[in-house]
Amino acid sequence: MKGGVLNINKPRGSTSSAIVQEVKRLLSTGKAGHAGTLDPQAEGVLLVLLGDATKISAYLTGLEKEYEATMVLGTTTSTQDGDGKVLRTRESKVALRDLEEVFDKFLGVQEQIPPMVSAKRHSGTRLYELFRQGKIVERAPRKVEIKELELLSYDMPKIKFRTVCSCGTYVRTLCHDMGEALGCGAYMSDLVRVRIGKFKLSDALPWDRKEIFHEKVESISDALSDFPSIVVTDRMGWGIRLGRQIKISEVKSVSLTPSEISDIDKAFKVFDEAGNLIAMAKAEGTSGVREFRLLRVFSQNI
């Protein structure tokens, strides 16, 4: 198998790395990875990348995510979830109107401080490793975008909601921050990832159906079907493989119009005339003739 992507419904209690290793063993592939980890207590869409699909990890990881989460008001924990030490409890008499106002406040671009239990690195060490050692370090805030926030149920102190957010958003931190904004604190008790880009939970393979995994591997090209594309001449294709940048005169076709390109911020798939995926590129320029800057050149056709 050259490579492909499996959309798996990760069960609660399993680590993402354990799922990847088991799939790697089951399908006898030399390389495997995933496009965005899920904490052990979380469940839902986990994209397992097999073989050459590991080369497109950054592009799938960067897709927007959709989650359904439950936060519990009135309690703050050391891990911002139900597994941590209780740090503080406060009265949680929150009116529905107050909750809706906070949801509105958190829409759009926000700054988040990564939690200490995240896999983000600090001076080369994972934050969760430092946390296990009892160390708390300063973390720089990072910009994330909360695109949608929808209240699903209101059963105090439990609030269930749906959110669509950018890559890099920590939903546990979103719960914590909204709890602070409400004045009572909160932690995340449950999390389900229902979508990564075009990959939906409704299409995900149940973990107990391992016998059909080999039949459900999606090709690399299909996994990137939501990404726009350009086709270059065979001559340019060989030039790209030799490290040359794309010449606009060697671009035979583009799947988007110039105005459509201006409205998106996605990488482009680069194909040669034979239909081989040879690279990923970024559109540059503001108007008129577009330029394409190479982001990643694949060492062989995938």
Closest CA to 95 of 189, 188, 184, 190: 184
Q: Are strands 3-10 and 205-206 parallel, antiparallel or unpaired?
A: parallel
Closest CA to 250 of 233, 238, 237, 234: 233
User: pTM value?
Assistant: 0.91
pLDDT at position 127, please? Answer: 79
Residue 161, C-beta contacts closer than 8 angstroms, at least 6 positions apart: 68, 69, 70, 71, 103, 149, 150, 151, 152
Mean pLDDT score, 138-153: 95
pLDDT at position 123, please? Answer: 78
Task: Give the residue numbers marked as catalytic.
Answer: 39
Residues 238-279 pLDDT 10s: 999 998 999 999 999 999 887 788 767 789 999 999 999 999
**Residue-averaged pLDDT of the chain:** 92
Residues 77-133 pLDDT 10s: 999 999 999 999 999 889 999 999 999 999 999 999 988 888 778 778 887 788 888
- Give per-residue burial for 156-174: e unless 16+ CB within 10 Å, then b: ebebbbebbbbbbbbbbbb
Residues 202-227 pLDDT 10s: 999 999 999 999 999 999 989 999 99
Is a pLDDT exceeding 80 seen at residue 287? Answer: no
- Domains belonging to the chain, first-starting first, are 3-63+198-222 (3.30.2350.10), 65-196 (3.30.2350.10), 227-297 (2.30.130.10)
